[in-house]
């Protein structure tokens, strides 16, 4: 073979794994089916590392937030995904949000600069029968390859539904009714706020409940949603005030026209560097497109909204990693095969890239003839890896974002109000000690 490692899937995890390997001189073939005549129900284009849901990498606070700590750790490991995100950054308060086109282009440009990496636009229908392989096909794995994965793992794949939120053209938003602010006026005024009174909120919630929704196919029945990306109409069905304590929470948002908090609020977050596209925060939905346009135009300030993208629903596939993978992300039945990214059951852009990064680093150590030393479990990388590869309950395994609940507890003498800072300080110190072990 002309390559040493075959990576299947050019999303967040596959791109990061390819970067970590090829920059260390390992010859890599990166196969991506988009651009080769195939696509998925959720992708819009053919770019590597395309963001299909939100454009946010969530909190960038590395002092009090687990995902912010993960950002910090990945940057210190020379993560391609984090470097590209910095180039594509758009205003989002303390969050890290990106212009999705700039981000994808930055990833492709960096990978194209590596002489030992070949990107091939092709669909791979089965796991190769020889050589080192990293499967990073993500939650939208093609059916033929999913069947091959099921055969290789000896276990049925698990699945859940994931919904994506609409994107609105900024110039179609009525700023005479909306205003820009961040909650409690912390940081820059990075969000557009659309206020609702009680009657408007009650009518809107009822519209969500009554709206025409995507029908489930028979084979999709009884597949659970991921709680962190719940369709807004499903949240609405859980109680009259569920939305007001969730994505439509008005707390800390003073309407400058009334001096009071609205009864409920719809927030939009900038989606591209130009500020021309804005994402409806928390409005993932399975409403049919015509119904979305009708209902979302009842929101004050969005009466004339033009949508660059409407919401949608897709089926996500992942393996029961605690059962089928070892501590190095290798298939227990065939240790030449590693899995990376969301197909392992991690959730979120950054988490997916982090597992891809670790898979790349593990494989690089193998080619360098070095023993792999895993990141300490006190780090965000180590906690996430431990969850995926054995700490989670196999019988109830579900996708998980990184959070401090995955970390070993800090000393009980640490007061609760500074506990998050204690987690991050410990993680940073332990990461520093671990970094010299990398190949």
Query: Rounded to a whole number, what is the distance in angstroms from the first to the last CA of the chain?
Result: 23
Confirm or deny that 10 is annotated as ligand binding.
yes
Confirm or deny that 312 is annotated as ligand binding.
no
Which residue, 136, 115, 154, is CA-closest to 346?
Answer: 136
Confirm or deny that 275 is annotated as ligand binding.
no
What is the Cα–Cα distance from 422 to 411, expressed in whole angstroms?
Answer: 9
Q: DSSP state, 416?
A: G
Place of tokens 């995926």: 388
What is the Cα–Cα distance from 388 to 394, expressed in whole angstroms?
Answer: 10
Q: Which residues is 423 bridged to in the sheet?
A: none
Q: What is the DSSP string of 233-274?
A: HHHHTT-TTTGGGTTT--TT--BTTTTB--SEEEEEEE-STT
- Neighbour order of strands in the sheet with 56-59: 56-59, 95-98, 89-90
Contact present, 170 and 91 (Cβ < 8 Å): no
Q: What is the DSSP string of 322-340?
A: HHHB-TTSEETTEEEEEE-
Confirm or deny that 239 is annotated as ligand binding.
no
Confirm or deny that 11 is annotated as ligand binding.
yes
Confirm or deny that 1 is annotated as ligand binding.
no
Residues of the binding site for FAD: 9-14
Residues of the binding site: 9-14
């Amino acid at each position: 073979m002309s390559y040493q490692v075959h990576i299947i899937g050019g999303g967040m995890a596959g791109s990061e794994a390819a970067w970590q390997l090829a920059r260390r001189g390992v010859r890599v073939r990166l196969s991506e089916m988009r651009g080769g005549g195939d696509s998925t129900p959720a992708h819009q284009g053919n770019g590597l590392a395309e963001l299909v849901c939100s454009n946010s990498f969530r909190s960038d606070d590395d002092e009090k937030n687990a995902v912010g700590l993960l950002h910090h750790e990945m940057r210190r490991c020379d993560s391609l995904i984090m470097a590209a995100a910095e180039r594509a950054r758009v205003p989002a308060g303390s969050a890290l949000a990106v212009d999705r086109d700039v981000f994808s282009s930055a990833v492709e440009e960096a990978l194209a600069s590596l002489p030992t990496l070949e990107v091939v636009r092709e669909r791979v229908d089965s796991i190769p029968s020889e050589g080192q392989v990293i499967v990073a096909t993500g939650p939208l794995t093609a059916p033929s390859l999913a069947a091959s994965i099921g055969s290789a793992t000896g276990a049925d794949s698990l699945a859940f539904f994931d919904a994506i939120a609409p994107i609105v053209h900024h110039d179609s938003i009525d700023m005479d009714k909306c205003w820009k602010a961040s909650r409690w006026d912390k940081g820059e005024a990075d969000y557009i706020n659309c206020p609702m009174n009680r009657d408007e909120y009650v009518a809107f919630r009822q519209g969500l409940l009554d709206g025409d929704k995507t029908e489930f196919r028979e084979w999709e029945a009884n597949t659970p949603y991921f709680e962190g990306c719940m369709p807004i109409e499903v949240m609405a069905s859980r109680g009259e005030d569920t939305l007001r304590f969730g994505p439509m929470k008005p707390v800390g948002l003073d309407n400058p026209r009334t001096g009071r908090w609205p009864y409920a609020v719809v927030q939009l977050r900038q989606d591209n560097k130009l500020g021309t596209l804005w994402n409806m925060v928390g409005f993932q939905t399975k409403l049919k497109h015509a119904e979305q346009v009708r209902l979302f135009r009842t929101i004050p300030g969005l009466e004339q909204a033009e949508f660059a993208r409407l919401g949608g629903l897709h089926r996500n596939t992942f393996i029961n990693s605690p059962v089928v993978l070892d501590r190095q992300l290798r298939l227990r039945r065939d240790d030449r095969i590693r899995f990376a990214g969301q197909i392992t059951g991690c959730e979120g852009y950054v988490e997916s890239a982090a597992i891809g990064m670790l898979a790349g680093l593990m494989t690089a150590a193998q080619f360098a003839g070095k023993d792999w030393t895993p990141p300490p479990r006190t780090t965000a990388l180590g906690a996430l890896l431990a969850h995926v590869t054995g700490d989670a309950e196999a019988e109830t395994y579900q996708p998980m974002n990184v959070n401090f609940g995955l970390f070993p507890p800090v000393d009980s003498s640490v007061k609760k109000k500074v506990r998050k800072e204690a987690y991050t300080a410990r993680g940073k110190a332990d990461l520093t000690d671990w970094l010299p072990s990398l190949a």
